[in-house]
Amino acid sequence: MRTNSPLLINESPLQLLPSLAVALGGVNEAIILQQVQYWLTLSTNYRDGRVWVYKTYPEWKEEFPFWSEDTIGRTIRKLESMGILLSTDEYNQIATDRTKWYTIEYDVLNARAPQVATIEDGNLQPSRAPQVATILPETTSRILPETTQPVVLNENDATWIFQMYQDVFKGDVSAGEHDDLRELAYGLKRVTPGDVREAMTITKSSNAKKRIGRKVAYLRGIVQDWERNGKPVQVTPPPPKVETPIIPKVIYR
């Protein structure tokens, strides 16, 4: 007797809050906006203080094979007209490239659903618990450096380490570094984001930063050592002992 079907969920499902569909006035809009949010958490494309993701309609079609490109385009245009989905083609390097870049205007979205949980100053403050259509991954609360507010780090969200890397090394994250940093962020257990920043600072001061492709490897080595053995305690050495010079005694005869 069969116990499964290829038509049932055996792969990563699309996540959807029913309350999001209600706020947007349609399931299609909710699915696409949630997928944009998913890609934004993985993106390293920062422009004008925002993180963006860029995709063509055929690329969206690959993610939503059950829709036509016309349906996808119509749904995206509706989200744009609502002011929730922001888009532009100004960041393309080639003038004739019409690929759209997308980001979400969260204030506009939250204004449409004040009864749904919102995030303010890093703290999740729900007025009622939203019903989730799929199981969401567990989250861990850690303290990021230079802040007193707890930041919820989702296991599918490594944005913080990309931003930190760009801040410390003053440069963009390459494609290879992107995957390595994301894997590093997902593997943290004992090491905190504050420790990661300190490890980046150590890496920056070493010769590794001058060798192509070695920065992340050097950083990973530090973090993995701290995961296994704990972060070494910095002990301030005592000041050197100052001895009183011996003045020879002069005997006058």
Query: Two tokens at 53?
Result: 């993701």
More confident residue, 164 or 4: 164
Mean pLDDT of 186-209: 82
The region of weakest confidence among 68-72, 94-98, 156-160, 214-218 is 156-160
More confident residue, 241 or 65: 65
Query: Two tokens at 178?
Result: 């992107």
Query: Two tokens at 80?
Result: 């744009």
**Residue 80 in this model has a pLDDT that exceeds 90:** yes
From the number of C-beta atoms within 10 Å of its C-beta (0-12, 13-18, 19+), residue 146 rates as: exposed
Residue type, 127: S
**pLDDT of res. 102:** 94
**pLDDT of res. 125:** 46
Model pLDDT for residues 162-195, shown as the tens digit of each residue: 878 888 887 777 767 777 888 888 888 888 888 8
Task: Show Cβ contacts of residue 193 under 8 Å, excluding neighbours closer than 6 positions.
Answer: 142, 143, 144, 145, 153, 160, 161, 164
Place of tokens 């016309």: 70
**Residue 9 in this model has a pLDDT that exceeds 50:** yes
Contact 161, 185 (CB under 8 A): yes
More confident residue, 179 or 213: 179
Tell me how far apart the alpha carbons of residues 200 and 210 are, in angstroms, rounded to a whole number.
14
Mean pLDDT of 5-30: 77
Tell me how far apart the alpha carbons of residues 14 and 12 are, in angstroms, rounded to a whole number.
7
Model pLDDT for residues 121-152, shown as the tens digit of each residue: 444 444 444 444 443 333 333 333 333 333 33
Cα 185 versus chain centre, distance:
9
Could you give all domains of the chain from N- to C-terminal order, each with its CATH number? 18-125 (1.10.10.10), 139-229 (no CATH)
Q: What is the pTM of this model?
A: 0.47
**Residue 231 in this model has a pLDDT that exceeds 50:** yes
More confident residue, 128 or 13: 13
